Amino acid sequence: MRHASDRLAVSGPRGELSYAELARDVQGAARHLLGQGVGRGALVAVGLADPVAQITAVLAADLVGATPLLCDPAWDEGRRSRVMAAIPVDARVDAPLPTPHGPPVRGQAAPGDRAWACFGSGSTGRPRAVVRTRASWTDSFPHLGDLAGIGAGDVVLVPGPLVSSLYGFAAVHALATGAAVVVPGRRPSARDLAAHLRRCTVIHLVPHMLPAVLEVLRETGGPLRTAVVGGAATMAGSRDLAAESGVGVVSYYGATELSFVAVDTDGTGLRPFPRTEIEVRGQGLGEVWVRSPWLAEGYLAGAPGPLRADGDGWMTVGDVAEPYRPGEVLRLRGRGDGAIQTGGATVLPEDVEEVLRKVPGVGDLVVVGSPHPLLGSVVTAVIEGEGASRASLEAMARGGLDAAQRPRRWYAVPALPRTPTGKPARGLVAARLADGDPDMRRLA
């Protein structure tokens, strides 16, 4: 950290640290790690609930040349034990690190060192942790800073858990630019969000959070200038609503394994992130393949996952897009492994969700495939909340979807299960449906 001073560096639920104080604590924590025999090449599992302590431990591990592996502090001991058995680590950090005084620790990190590992939101069964080199993250910092206009004078709100690569990157990027970063450690309540928005100029978030942020901003006001939105398509109309509040939206498409792939800074569509090449392979809808310096190294301990490489530096996670040529807009159509096969037709859940979100009263929804003895699967829609009737949903489906795309089964649920990043957990929705979860009510 080159920004050591009395300026605010990080603000969390338990207090604030200036850049000088953060540098002091990172140095002390690094000395403690070295004293425990943790050094270059070690894999350190960091499972801390407090986000400021988490950042300190991660930066300390990086300073001594170790690789931090971000673990969810909410895991029970059974889950934690399974993870540690599948991915052996050299050290565990389950409590804030001591910060003893002593001589300064001189970092000897190299760009090609493994510098970050975290679990993908889709990890089920065998734990799957993505690992990447330092350069695959840090060399992209200036590009995001330029695209979003983030600099040392900003206060950046990161309203989610740092175990998510989206939020973890946002926090580290803010510190690298010399900005102050506000890390609640989880999605804040409406009251806390209002308090944060009174001081923050930039926010990193997932798409479904943006409308709520704009609603609070209209009520309370604040200096918010830019929303950096990642993880999925920005919801219809959100960019216009943001503009009415004086907020610019920088949305991007990426994946934990691929990092940044494409970015939309002005609402005209996704175009390749700097130094990124894109190919869509296949006839008609095809798989998105990417070649860039931002790609991950792979999965720890040889775990299987959607990431595939072709030997020429190109990688894919199976996402699907319309045909693409360089210079054009990338039109994503969903995740290939989420497609629903029904009666010989292939239905992409995101296509159905986009249409049904237009129904008044629909806050969010998930479309999945439910087993069917004759068709293989049928399209099933699970609506969050009670604000939309089946009649209105079916009317929208008839007007906006092909016959194969129209849901055959409709459910309502008080709240959708979500991943640590805040996105609806499609796999968990399908599993709860299969288990007959009583909270999922069939719509008449």
Output DSSP code: residue 145: H
Is the model's pLDDT at 124 over the cut of 50?
no
Output DSSP code: residue 297: -
Is the model's pLDDT at 125 over the cut of 50?
no
What is the rounded CA–CA span in Å between residue 403 and residue 199?
49
β-pairing verdict for 43-46 and 91-93: parallel
- Residue-wise pLDDT for 49-107, tens only, equals 999 999 999 999 999 999 999 998 988 888 788 888 889 999 999 999 999 999 999 98
Long-range CB pairs of 370-374, under 8 A, 24+ apart, other chains included: 370/409, 370/430, 370/433, 370/434, 371/434, 372/342, 374/343
Q: Map residue 137 onto helix, strand or coil.
A: helix
Residue holding tokens 């299987």? 304
For residue 122, the model assigns a pLDDT of 43
Residues 369, 337: contact at Cβ < 8 Å?
Answer: no
For residue 308, the model assigns a pLDDT of 92
The candidate with the shortest Cα–Cα distance to 437, out of 391, 370, 392, 375, is: 370
Residues 19, 55: contact at Cβ < 8 Å?
Answer: no
Token pair for residue 430? Answer: 């399908």
Output DSSP code: residue 408: S
Is the model's pLDDT at 395 over the cut of 60?
yes
For residue 312, the model assigns a pLDDT of 95
Helix 141-148 / helix 165-177 crossing angle, nearest 10 deg: 80
Output DSSP code: residue 160: S
Indicate the average pLDDT of the chain.
90
β-pairing verdict for 271-272 and 298-299: unpaired
Distance of CA 284 to the CA centre of its chain: 28
Residue 381: phi, psi to the nearest 5?
-110, 135
Domains of the chain: 8-244 (3.40.50.12780), 339-442 (3.30.300.30)
β-pairing verdict for 315-316 and 319-321: unpaired
As separate numbers, helices (DSSP H) first and strands (DSSP E) second, the chain gives 12, 27
Q: What is the mean pLDDT of residues 415-432?
A: 81
- Residue-wise pLDDT for 170-220, tens only, equals 999 999 999 999 999 998 999 999 999 999 999 999 887 898 899 999 998
- Residue-wise pLDDT for 317-370, tens only, equals 988 889 999 999 999 887 666 778 787 677 888 889 989 999 998 989 999 999
For residue 214, the model assigns a pLDDT of 94
Is the model's pLDDT at 234 over the cut of 80?
no
For residue 4, the model assigns a pLDDT of 57
For residue 298, the model assigns a pLDDT of 95
The candidate with the shortest Cα–Cα distance to 362, out of 443, 248, 253, is: 443
Write the CA distances from 45 to 80, 89, 94, 212, integer angstroms: 10, 6, 8, 34
For residue 235, the model assigns a pLDDT of 62
Name residues whose C-beta falls within 8 Å of residue 153's C-beta, 6 or more positions apart in sequence: 179, 201
Q: Which helix (H) or strand (E) holds 219?
A: helix 210-220
Token pair for residue 170? Answer: 């946002």
Q: What is the pLDDT confidence band of residue 15, given thresholds at 50, 70 and 90? A: very high
Q: What is the pLDDT confidence band of residue 374, given thresholds at 50, 70 and 90? A: confident
For residue 233, the model assigns a pLDDT of 62
